[in-house]
Amino acid sequence: MRIAIIGAGIAGLSAAYDLAGQGHAVTVYEAGEQVGGLASGFRDPAWEWPLERFYHHIFTTDHAIIKLTSEIGMRDRLFFRAPVTAQWWNGRGYALDGVLPVLRFPGLPPLDRLRFGISAFYLKFITNNWQKLERVTATEWTERYSGRNVARVIWRPLLEGKFGPHADEVNMAWLWARLRARSFKLGYFEGGFQAFADELCAACARRGAQVWRQTPVKTVAQTETGWQVLAGNHPPTDYDALLVTGAPGLLARLVPQLPTGYLGQLRTLRSMGAVALTIALRQPLTNGIYWLNLPKAEFPFLALVEHTNFIESQHYGGDHLIYCGDYLDPDHEYFRLTPAELLERFMPALHQINPAFRREWVRGYWLHRETYAQPIVPVNHSRNIPPIPTPLTGLYWASMSQVYPWDRGTNYAVELGRRAAQIIHEHARYAQPVPSGY
């Protein structure tokens, strides 16, 4: 088949890699200058490696992306380390990246530390029944089984930081998935995630796929035999199948003729946006901490990530790189403020984290924002998620909203893209009708 894919993020490229390998003629349209989507990077002239626009790493349990890394010949460029992750409490950061650090954490009395440990062990190693967990909110479950104090000190800041005013809506399956699928060791690529995305794109090209950068799709139209795509300066092109990767709103805008019921499902899928201010400092900020979770009540952002406590500053011209990151509703003022205004807003927090910090430490800064970055997952969320095949023949949709119960990330983007490719290939091979029922 002739197949078009909208979006050269990790999911779109993973689908293109498999479909081209199965003999299909694949064309990928990407609006941006680079491939990689949310995992794409940018580069200062002084840096050897590009840096992700939004902080990224993988886990030792991320089997889908590790497998694909091996397939495209990049396994020797993927490495794992165990940087320090910490929780801010009572004026300093405390490591919570192992059993012993948790047992030593002074923010909880001994009995609460034990309750925290038991409940976390149950979630990570014992239960697989996420369907039952999605029937209750994370707030209700953690207060009941970890205790109110543990929920307030440990779990509440995580939920509020990630989901803000929606924290009490989030179901327990989301928190289970975070614990279940994550490891203390974190993985990174030589050359950053942009190097992985570029190599995956090159692997797609070796299989015959075409990837058009800086080619936004203007319109799509259903034809008697498939779909027609008008993108960039290209003439209208006909395809047998079309895969849209991206936000629910993108699919609804491109294909408003979707059945009312399906469009209604798309509109129920809410999400948070992401704001990340990256700052190049002349000196390190934290005392060796890579990831510092911050309470929203005290700080103007969710996480302080000192990337160069994970990856050596020598790859970035000696800069000490930090992210000030947050997940926010798309109408939040942070999506309107200028980079300079956000820097001024955030600098007092940097001084709070390290009283020695001065404005003169700042060598440069960059602001990146995306309005679709973190799906909101309420109780019984699995009922809200449309399948990859849409009700219209030959039209497919794959987005981070469909990786549930797992949290969004590059590993699940790979898994989703490859799953979409398999569905499209099977429909082509057996000419099976697309499920409807909407």
Which pLDDT tens digit goes with each residue over 244-300? 999 999 999 999 999 999 999 999 999 999 999 999 999 999 999 999 999 988 999
Instruction: Report the candidate in 54, 50, 7 with the shortest Cα–Cα distance to residue 26.
Output: 7
Helix or strand holding residue 180 (H, E): helix 172-181
Tell me which residue of 216, 205, 139 sits closest to 172, measured CA to CA.
139
What does the mean pLDDT of the chain come to?
A: 95
Residue 238 CB coordination number (10 Å): 14
Report the half-sphere exposure of 363 (CA within 13 A, side-chain side). 15
- The single-letter DSSP state of residue 61 is T
Q: Nearest CA to 29 among 255, 269, 236, 256?
A: 236
Q: How far is residue 403's CA from residue 412's CA, in Å, rounded to a whole number?
A: 6
* Residue closest to 203 by CA, chosen among 16, 426, 413: 16
What domains are there in the chain, each with its CATH number? 2-50+191-269+380-430 (3.50.50.60), 112-175 (no CATH)
Q: Cα(354)–Cα(314) distance, rounded to whole angstroms?
A: 22
Of the candidates 209, 226, 222, the residue with the CA atom closest to the CA atom of residue 29? 209
Pairing of strands 2-6, 271-281: unpaired
Tokens encoding 308: 């160069």
Q: Do β-strands 217-222 and 210-212 pair in parallel, antiparallel, or remain unpaired? A: unpaired
pLDDT in tens, the chain (438 residues): 999 999 999 999 999 999 999 999 999 999 999 999 999 999 999 999 999 999 999 999 999 999 999 999 999 999 999 999 999 999 999 998 877 787 788 989 999 999 998 999 999 999 999 999 999 999 999 999 999 999 999 899 889 888 989 999 999 999 999 999 889 899 999 999 999 999 999 999 999 999 999 999 999 999 999 999 999 999 999 999 999 999 999 999 999 999 999 999 999 999 999 999 999 999 999 999 999 999 988 999 999 999 999 999 999 999 999 999 999 999 999 999 999 999 999 999 999 999 999 999 999 999 999 999 999 999 999 999 999 999 999 999 999 999 999 988 999 999 999 999 999 999 887 754 455 443
- Which has the closest alpha carbon to 102: 92, 91, 115? 115
**Cβ count within 10 A of residue 18:** 23
Torsion of CA 15, 17, 19, 23, to 10 degrees: 170
Which residues pair with residue 219 across a beta bridge?
230
Q: How far apart are the first and last CA of the chain?
A: 26
Q: Is the dihedral of CA 212, 194, 322, 283 positive or negative?
A: negative
Helix or strand (DSSP H, E) at 201: helix 192-206
Continuous segment of H or E residues that includes residue 325? strand 320-328
CB 283 within 8 A of CB 79: no
- Condensed to tens digits (0 to 9), the pLDDT of residues 166-194 reads 999 999 999 999 999 889 899 999 999 99
Distance between CA atoms of residues 18 and 67, nearest Å: 13
Contact 116, 156 (CB under 8 A): no
Q: Does residue 321 contact residue 281 with C-beta atoms inside 8 Å?
A: yes
Task: Name the token pair of 394.
Answer: 């030959």
Reported pTM? 0.95
CA nearest to 259, candidates 399, 436, 5:
436
Q: Which CA distances in Å does 73 have to 31, 77, 200, 207?
A: 27, 9, 9, 14
